[in-house]
Structure 1
Amino acid sequence: MIMILYFGLPMILFIMALFCFVSNRKHLLSMLLSLEFIVLMLFFLLFMYLSLLGFENYFSMMFLTFSVCEGALGLSILVSMIRTHGNDYFQSFSIM
């Protein structure tokens, strides 16, 4: 029962965050928040999996380091987008 709680709940939350990421395409900030939640659930699943098998958690610390770098890059893109366009709508700028 406890294994279902450890692996089932993060999987459900991961799927919900993935659905929020796919459905919210209007603001960059909401997409970044859902991406961070996806990464957090992946980290939790990875940590539980490595702890269950008795492996070391060095890989999960490396994963957490890269996810922090990803979050910092996303925030810098958000700040530069707000400075140039005045908002974080995807409709206000052209990618091409």
Structure 2
Amino acid sequence: MMVYNMLFVVIFMFLFGNMIFVSKHKHLLIILLSLEFIVLSIYFYLLIYLMMFNMNMYMLMVFLVFSVCEGALGLSILVSMIRTHGNDYFQSFSLL
């Protein structure tokens, strides 16, 4: 019963992160934070899934490595965008 409650919370976290990702598309920082929130909910889901079936937790370490690389890449894009354009608005620069 407790596992189902935890799965409900994880699904709610995932849907809430997706809702923020879709609705707040003006700032790059908010988009990156919502993506990290989605990655955190996927991590919790994998943790519950692997614990439920008594499997090895090595896959969680691989997932954390890739999520840290994704976060570092997003922050480097944010820093380069702020250095070149002065802010993180998507409407302030042209893709051409």
TM-score band by shorter chain is over 0.9
Which ranges of 4 or more aligned residues in structure 1 deviate by more than 2 Å? none
Q: Hey, what's the Cα distance between the residues in 2 that align with 1:30 and 1:4?
A: 30
Q: Which aligned pairs between 1:6-25 and structure 2 lie closer than 5 A?
A: 6-25=6-25
In the TM superposition, 1:51-90 aligns within 5 A as 51-90=51-90
Counterpart in the other structure of 2:95: 95
User: Percent of aligned positions with the same letter in both sequences?
Assistant: 57
* TM-score between the two structures when normalised by the length of structure 1: 0.96
Aligned to 2:27: 27
Deviation at 1:95, TM superposition (A): 2.1
For 2:91, what is the secondary structure of its paired residue? helix
Q: Which runs of 5+ in 1 are unaligned?
A: none
**Is the partner of 1:92 in helix, strand or coil?**
coil
Deviation at 1:51, TM superposition (A): 0.9
RMSD, matched Cα: 0.7
